[in-house]
Amino acid sequence: MEVLSELDDDLVGWLVAGGSAVVALLSGLVARRRARRRKALRDRSVKVMVVGLPESGKTALLASMFRRLAYGGPDGVLVETDRATTGQLLALTRAMEHRDEEVPAGTLLDDTTNYEFTFLVTDDGGGHVRPCGVSYLDYAGEHAGPLVRPGTTEPAPEVMAAAARSDVLMGILDGQRVVRMMEGQADEDFFTELGDLILLLARAPQKAAHLIITKWDVVHPRFSLADVVARLDLFPPFRQFRGHRRHGVLRVIPVSSFGMNGYLFRDAEGVVCKSGKPDLHWDPYNVATPLAFALRDVMTGNTSRASEGRANRRRRVREFSHFFVAVGALLGMISVQVPLLSFGAVEFVLKRNGLAGLAAVADRPQEVEDRVRRPQQRSVLRVLSFLDRLTANGASIELTQYRRSTV
Ligand SMILES: Nc1nc2c(ncn2[C@@H]2O[C@H](COP(=O)(O)OP(=O)(O)OP(=O)(O)O)[C@@H](O)[C@H]2O)c(=O)[nH]1
Ligand SMILES: [Mg+2]
């Protein structure tokens, strides 16, 4: 009997130890699963990558976008960054604005910077919510050459990585070179580089793509956007690219960081000058439109992909923009499923009517806002409505529409 009871004690001890090991293992797995779920839903930031050669106007555009979006407006939405980054951006805007300063110089090869912008929304009760953001990489245009033309030298790894993870690719066409193209004097490399850029955009069908024409102040006095698109359309790679079947939208957007009012201009020698007229101020043109379309197009493009096949099929989260998944889940239109074991894929399922809701969020966020209650949900919709208004007032041509109207 004694032997038996000793055995029993051992057995009980062993079972207890084994049991608590199982409990510890399970609770570890559950904790890891929670962390994976949080991670899958945390990234509510749209990643934007501009692709432009040296001198094409990337840094001036960054400064102008910040200027346009940082001061807020009637929607109660503005963008903010941390103190150090705000300091860097204010140095750039001051250089554009101040009569005694020179516009920003070219970005140095090692000065690649990722700018993280957060939307700050003042809610109805006067509180502040930070529902989502945008990241934007600024880098020396020298990296863009090897990025668009593989096989030469390698671009910096951080530039390569940013291009791979971006949700939106914005190819930059330098307005000054566009004018020469329109005059029939495009330089030797113009169409080769344009072809390379288009190829890069074409190879990334999962991303939203825009072509931005910078320095519109030098183009517009002589040529309209329709003129420029009609000319680009004579270039076969461009024509093929815009006719390519895609989920995302494809736009051409003109911007001018100098603005159209003549405050900033180049003199006959090509030196950048600032007007001495006291009532003229730096007033960039259409510079927030690319960013506004970026968020909207990410939502629209991903919604269209999610609608493929049966509505309630499981999809892998990583195949969609993190922003789209996180916003869809926040608004209750998607449910995110995380397996207990860490090697299983994180998936999402569109909820009943989720697709209609997501489509409405992409196209008419205001309509969805009436239905949601939580401040986080309302504020993300407030940002989308704000950007919607920006796009409605901005200049652009959607190329799929263009094809329909001209065929
Ligand atoms: N007319 C006109 N010139 C512009 C505009 N934006 C930029 N520029 C000029 O174009 C030149 C290049 O602008 P940046 O913004 O430095 O170009 P970038 O693409 O950042 O160049 P890198 O940093 O060298 O790759 C500068 O001399 C600017 O003054 C614009 O909207 N209109
Ligand atoms: Mg630069």
Contacts for 35 with CB less than 8 Å, ≥ 6 apart? none
72 Cβ inside 6 Å of ligand 1: no
CATH number for 45-287: choose from 3.40.50.300, 1.25.40.10, 3.40.50.150, 3.40.50.620.
3.40.50.300
Q: Which among 193, 69, 217 is positioned nearest to 136, based on CA atoms?
A: 69
Ligand 1 centroid to Cα of residue 57, in Å, is: 3
170 Cβ inside 6 Å of ligand 1: no
> Could you give the CA distance from residue 34 to residue 356 in angstroms, rounded to a whole number?
28
CB 252 within 8 A of CB 295: no
CB 333 within 8 A of CB 312: no
End-to-end CA distance of the chain: 96
Q: Which CA distances in Å does 275 have to 103, 104, 265, 404, 405?
A: 13, 17, 8, 43, 41
64 Cβ inside 6 Å of ligand 1: no
140 Cβ inside 6 Å of ligand 1: yes
Helix axes 175-182, 225-232, angle to 10 degrees: 70
Ligand 2 centroid to Cα of residue 182, in Å, is: 25
Identify the three-state secondary structure at position 20.
helix
Identify the three-state secondary structure at position 120.
strand
> Could you give the CA distance from residue 105 to residue 33 in angstroms, rounded to a whole number?
48
Q: Where are the domains of the chain?
A: 45-287, 300-392
257 Cβ inside 6 Å of ligand 1: yes
pLDDT in tens, the chain (407 residues): 555 556 577 777 777 777 788 888 888 888 888 988 888 888 899 999 999 999 999 999 999 999 999 999 888 999 999 999 999 999 999 999 999 889 989 888 888 999 999 999 998 888 899 999 999 999 988 888 888 887 767 778 888 888 888 999 999 999 999 999 999 998 889 999 999 898 888 887 777 889 999 999 999 989 999 999 999 999 999 988 888 776 667 789 999 999 999 999 999 888 999 998 999 999 999 999 999 998 888 998 888 888 876 666 788 998 899 999 999 999 999 999 998 887 888 999 988 888 888 999 988 898 888 888 888 899 999 999 999 889 888 898 888 766 544 43
Which ligand is the nearest neighbour of the Cα of 52? Answer: 1
Ligand 2 centroid to Cα of residue 158, in Å, is: 16
